Amino acid sequence: MLLREVNDPRFAGVTLSEVEVSRDLSHAKVFVTLPADADVTATIKALNNASGYLRRGLAQRLHLRYLPQLRFKHDTALERAHRLSELIDRAVAEDERRGRGPGGRGDGREG
pLDDT at 111: 47
What domains lie within the chain, and their CATH numbers? 2-97 (3.30.300.20)
Give the separation between CA 39 and CA 36, rounded to whole angstroms.
Answer: 9
Separation between Cα atoms, residue 54 and residue 71, nearest integer Å: 11
pTM equals 0.69
**What is the spatial distance between Cα 107 and Cα 100, in angstroms, rounded to a whole number?**
8
pLDDT at residue 67 in the model: 87
Q: Which residue in 86, 105, 81 sits closest to 95, CA to CA?
A: 105
State the Cα angle at 98 between 96 and 102, rounded to 5°: 35
What backbone torsions phi and psi does residue 71 show, to the nearest 5 degrees? -125, 120
Tens digits of residue pLDDT in 26-63: 999 999 999 988 999 999 999 999 999 898 888 888 88
Give per-residue pLDDT as tens, 68-106.
Answer: 999 999 998 878 888 888 899 998 888 888 887 665 555
